[in-house]
């Protein structure tokens, strides 16, 4: 299980953003998190993935805090994948950093071998997002925070991504938190929706 327990977070001392947020995600479960712009969805995702530390409450993975070193079992993919890639590395190096075998994902996502020899800025947004997802679709990832991962993509690429990601989630019993302002999308892909941020 991945659990958020009574999470409290604020960027500025006088401006509370998250106050006492609770959520449990089980293996193999797709949880949809909608909410208005600026309500704190991405911040919550960053707390769950260990990018930020809460001022109160805790994040527990299998009843323990997230590891401080090594590969984090909770991975996060963003709307703009280039932000999480070294611009000086070719795609091949970005993918093989963790020594994983990505052959299956390369085929499923229609990733051309020529892309591997390019730098991130030499791929389109949809191509790069498929690389970003391929990178985290490994046995070491147990939970995935998907923050508006198809928001800027054309419908065909959106469909390609979800049609490959969801079976991987289910087969490997990964827990997925899908963050989006698009409630129709979330209703289609999620096992359940949480309205934690609906009134904020
Ligand atoms: N590093 C930061 N420093 C200060 N304030 C921040 C920082 N990051 C985000 N915020 C503020 O925190 C609030 C929540 O931001 P967050 O990105 O979590 O919202 P969101 O619900 O994901 O929004 P969106 O749907 O527009 O992406 C916003 O008001 C934002 O301006």
Structurally, the chain folds into a number of domains equal to 1
Residue 200 lies in a domain: no
Structure confidence at residue 102 (pLDDT): 82
Residue 134's Cα: distance from chain center in Å?
12
The pTM (predicted TM-score) of the whole model is: 0.94
Structure confidence at residue 190 (pLDDT): 98
Residue 83 lies in a domain: yes
For the chain, the average pLDDT equals 93
The arithmetic mean of pLDDT across residues 163-176, rounded, is 96
Residue 93 lies in a domain: yes
Q: Determine if ligand 1 sits within 6 Å of the CB of residue 180.
A: no
The arithmetic mean of pLDDT across residues 113-125, rounded, is 95
**pLDDT tens per residue across span 123-152:** 999 999 999 999 999 889 999 999 999 998
| Contact present, 74 and 4 (Cβ < 8 Å) | no
Structure confidence at residue 99 (pLDDT): 61
What is the 41 CA–ligand 1 centroid distance (Å)? 8
Residue 198 lies in a domain: no
Which residue's CA lies nearest to atom 6 of ligand 1?
Answer: 11
**pLDDT tens per residue across span 65-108:** 999 998 999 999 999 999 889 999 999 999 987 667 788 888 88
**pLDDT tens per residue across span 7-58:** 999 998 888 899 999 999 999 999 999 998 899 999 999 999 999 999 999 9
Residue 32 lies in a domain: yes
Residue 173 lies in a domain: yes
Q: Give the range of the structural domain holding residue 31, as residue numbers without chain letter.
A: 2-193
Residue 199 lies in a domain: no
Q: Determine if ligand 1 sits within 6 Å of the CB of residue 39.
A: yes
Q: Residue 21 CB: number of other CB atoms within 10 A?
A: 23
Q: Determine if ligand 1 sits within 6 Å of the CB of residue 48.
A: no
Q: Determine if ligand 1 sits within 6 Å of the CB of residue 198.
A: no
* Reported confidence tier of residue 198, pLDDT bands at 50, 70, 90: low
Residue 20 lies in a domain: yes
Q: What is the CATH number of the domain that holds 61?
A: 3.40.50.300
**23 contacts: CB under 8 Å, gap ≥ 6:** 3, 4, 31, 48, 177, 194, 196
* Reported confidence tier of residue 200, pLDDT bands at 50, 70, 90: very low
User: Could you give the ipTM of this predicted complex?
Assistant: 0.96
Provide the 8-state DSSP code for 120: G
102 or 192: which leads in pLDDT: 192
């Amino acid at each position: 299980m991945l659990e958020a327990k009574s999470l409290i977070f604020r960027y500025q001392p006088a401006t509370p953003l998250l106050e006492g947020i609770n959520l449990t995600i089980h293996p193999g479960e797709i949880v949809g998190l909608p909410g208005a712009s600026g309500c704190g969805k991405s911040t919550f995702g960053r707390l769950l993935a260990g990018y930020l530390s809460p001022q109160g409450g805790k994040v527990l993975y299998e009843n323990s805090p997230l590891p401080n070193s090594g590969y984090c079992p909770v991975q996060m993919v963003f709307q703009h994948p280039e932000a999480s890639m070294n611009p000086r590395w070719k795609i091949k190096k970005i993918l093989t950093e963790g020594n994983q075998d990505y052959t299956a994902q390369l085929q499923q996502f229609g990733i051309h071998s020529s892309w591997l020899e390019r730098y991130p800025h030499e791929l389109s947004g949809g191509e790069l997002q498929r690389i970003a997802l391929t990178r985290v679709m490994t046995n070491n990832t147990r939970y995935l925070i998907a923050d508006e991962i198809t928001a800027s993509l054309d419908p065909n690429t959106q469909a390609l991504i979800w049609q490959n990601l969801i079976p991987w989630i289910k087969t490997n019993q990964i827990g997925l938190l899908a963050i989006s302002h698009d409630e129709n999308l979330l209703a289609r892909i999620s096992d359940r929706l949480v309205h934690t941020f609906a009134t904020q």
